[in-house]
Amino acid sequence: MATDSPKQLLHLVIGGELSSIEGVTFTDLAAVDIVGLYPNYATAYTAWKQKAQMTVDSAQTRYFIVHLHRLLEPETHKE
């Protein structure tokens, strides 16, 4: 394994219709859009931005970037 490659920091992009614009509760979990899994924040942000712009006319639809690397290795990502 190459040591000069950047560390993989997994990010998940998901979204869907929320039951309220004040919260983060999806109206239908079966309908949540799992956009994808990305190796770093920059690529996740690009995917998030594209999806968010596609749904700009729907106030109840939101997309999120989930920092999976913080969940998988919490001891190395204390903030």
* pLDDT of amino acid 6: 75
Domain assignment of residue 27, yes or no: yes
Q: Which domain CATH number covers 72?
A: 3.30.70.2400
Residue 43 Cα distances to 35, 46, 48, 54, 77, angstroms:
12, 5, 9, 17, 19
Residues of the chain with pLDDT under 50: 1
Q: Which domain holds residue 20?
A: 11-76
* pLDDT of amino acid 18: 96
* pLDDT of amino acid 76: 72
Residue 62 Cα distances to 4, 8, 19, 35, angstroms:
36, 26, 11, 12
| pTM (global) more than 0.75 | yes
Rounded distance between C-alpha atoms, residue 39 and residue 73, angstroms: 15
Domain assignment of residue 6, yes or no: no
